[in-house]
Chains A and B, each alone.
Chain A
Amino acid sequence: MNYKNINKVALVAILLIAFGLPLVIRSATYLHILVLLFFYAYLTTSWNLVGGFAGVLPLGHAAFVGIGAYTSTILFLQYGISPWIGMLVGGVLATIAGILIGLPTFKMRGAYFALATIAFAEGFRVIVENIDYIGPFKINGPRGLQIPPLDIGLANFMFASKEPYYYIILIMLVAVVVLTYVISRSKLGYYLNAGGEEPEAAMALGVNVARAKLIAMAMSSFLTAMAGTFYAQFTLYIHPKSIISLDLSFEIAFIALIGGRGSIAGPILGALLLRPVGDFSRIYFGDTLPGMHLIIFGLVLILVMHYQPRGLQEPLTRLYNNLIRRITHNTTGR
């Protein structure tokens, strides 16, 4: 068996495990935690198109989650339009917003870009919190929107059990990872990488960095908004303080940086570490030591950055490659 084949086997095995997990894990608690884990891995992978490959740090992606969630929910509640369609409409709206944000901000660097995206997301939240109606659309201001769990079924994107949600978000995650893989091997990926590391040099070589970044932003915001719809259907309640929150925007960036930004496995590894740390520490300390779970979360952030400033992806890849080398070595030696 050579290196490539082993990679394929490993990939198939991971996919089999992921798809088979609900057969083993019957508890809705753990499925719920896993659904959110995949949800964050999906969000971070979408974020990675801009934050990872284009070399900037967007800290306002919650705005796109909000656009997606609100669009599909309003269309469903007021016009009975299936959230599946609303998901695409939200994606289109978010794309427009993404381009509008990207056009002026991509000229900025580092901290300025990060802070500008924070301002966009916060400004958007404030506006949502201040508006009850936009024309005929009921936004409901700070009170948020609730989806009554009446018409359960695939057409309405509503299910009584966790498994359908699990498979939907898993398929979305696989799709977005494949997309990222394709992009990273394409011309666009090359442009993005070049523009992220050495914008001046890339521009001198005739690469239209700004355009590449805008395309990445458009895709990223579209995909992020789709997750917004998923979130709305999963929790059946959206409200500006939680869905357009800085906490959400920050957590996406944390997962990316902890996992290893700009890599395909990074967002998944980051989510695999940070989500369980957050969930289980809250469960075990939330009762006796309020706030302890956030202290632990903060400590994990600091420690990982201290020992692996490029994220977990690098050492884990090394570990994996060593392992494979040993296996292939053994087999050829025999």
Chain B
Amino acid sequence: MYYIIEDTINGILMGSIYGLTAMGLTIIFGVLKVVNFAHGSMLMVGMYLAYWAVTLSGMHPYLAIVLVAPAMFLFGYTLQNFVIKPIFIAEKNVREPLTVIIVTTGIWYILDNLTLLIFGPQYRSLADNPLNGQMLEIGEMFISVPKLYGCITAVITALGVYWFFQKTDMGRAIRATSMDREAASLMGINQYKIYNVAFGIGAATAGIAAVTLVPFYNVFPTVGVLFDIKGFIIVVLGGLGSIGGALAGGIIIGIIESVGPQFMTATWTEAIVYGLFLVVLFVKPSGLFGQKHDW
């Protein structure tokens, strides 16, 4: 019982970080109706940015958010504007243009391998950062401090994004576009600009997730791939397009990964995750928090 509590806490902490890594995926899907296969690569770019920002300046790793999040917003905005938007314009009449999936996969290959060319295959980590190896010890129980920070950041980010979508004009415009493109553009909303902003926000959350990972995780060119498939599962579990759902989906996966190995070998928990994913899809295809009209 005691072990299960300890593992559940770790699962919740790590899971909310997974949720944060997948949040951009769900935001982008909610608005553009496409799965961004380059999301893991954007996370990777964010991690390199955070790594170099902290290494070169020696600042506290979390301070890097100030730099990484806006930089990633710009990166996402530009990427969408120049690389993805033309496809949307060409495929105006298609609700979920599959060609965009191919384009985002192309972006994934390019980003990962460009990083390999520039930085080489080496593994890097912020070995000397103040969060590294910090543990809260409550009796026999261990709680990782960098993961706790990550969890708090994930919740704050989710609330922030939620607030932005509900309370700001831009947020309302984004929501209007995600519900009905035609109606929104009839109301004078430039849907392509909305797409750019949504993609930028998605990239910025990937940047924030990158900052929470860098204090305890390695940075290398293919790191995004590890989070990619996990991200897909998380967002579908939670309901594509739902921000709270991404967090919840992440936490569910985190708990399975953390508690599961106490009953089986760690390799089998992967199978459990896929199994649960399929069960949820069959029982409630819109995910736990998704809206019915989206599937």
Contacts and interface: CB of A to CB of B under 8 A. Distances in A.
B96 A299 contact: no
A111 interface: yes
A254 B109 CA distance: 13
Given A112-B281, A112-B285, A130-B271, A301 B105 contact: yes
Contacts of B87: 305-306, 309
Residue from B34, B90, B274, B278 whose CB has the most chain A CB atoms within 10 Å? B274
A10 interface: no
A291 B232 contact: no
Contacts of A109: 96, 295
Interface in A261-290: 289-290
Nearest to B240: A111
Contacts of B95: 110
A119 interface: yes
Interface in A94-143: 104-105, 107-112, 114-116, 118-120, 122-123, 126-127, 129-130
A302 B270 contact: no
Interface string B269-283: 011001101100110
Interface residues of A, number: 42
B245 to A, nearest CB: 14
Interface string B241-279: 000000000000000000000000101101100110110
A49 B281 CA distance: 24
Of A109, A127, A295, A309, chain B has the most CB atoms within 10 Å of the CB of A309
B141 interface: no
A126 B267 contact: yes
A179 B83 CA distance: 38
B14 interface: no
B152 interface: no
A142 to B, nearest CB: 9
A17 to B, nearest CB: 30
Interface string B46-90: 000000000000000000000000000000000000010011001
B233 A119 contact: yes
Given A112-B240, A123-B271, A294-B109, A107 B33 contact: no
A295 B106 CA distance: 8
Interface string B222-235: 00000001001100
A149 interface: no
Nearest to B287: A112
Contacts of A300: 106
Given A122-B229, A298-B109, A309 B271 contact: no
Nearest to A257: B102
Nearest to B269: A126
Interface stretch (B110-118, B160-168, B173-181): B110-118
Contacts of A170: none
B295 A112 contact: yes
Given A104-B281, A116-B281, A130-B267, A257 B99 contact: yes
Nearest to A105: B281
B18 interface: no
Contact of B274 (A123, A289, A294, A305): A123
Contacts of B98: 57, 110, 257
B96 A110 contact: yes
B295 A123 contact: no
A240 B98 CA distance: 27
A131 to B, nearest CB: 10
Leading 3 A-B pairs by shortest Cβ distance? A123-B274, A298-B109, A291-B113
Interface of A: 57, 104-105, 107-112, 114-116, 118-120, 122-123, 126-127, 129-130, 246, 250, 253-254, 257-258, 289-292, 294-295, 297-302, 305-306, 309
Interface of B: 29, 33-35, 83, 86-87, 90-91, 95-99, 101-103, 105-110, 112-114, 116-117, 121, 221, 229, 232-233, 236, 240, 265, 267-268, 270-271, 274-275, 277-278, 281-282, 285, 295
7 contacts: A57-B101, A107-B285, A114-B101, A122-B229, A126-B270, A258-B102, A290-B116
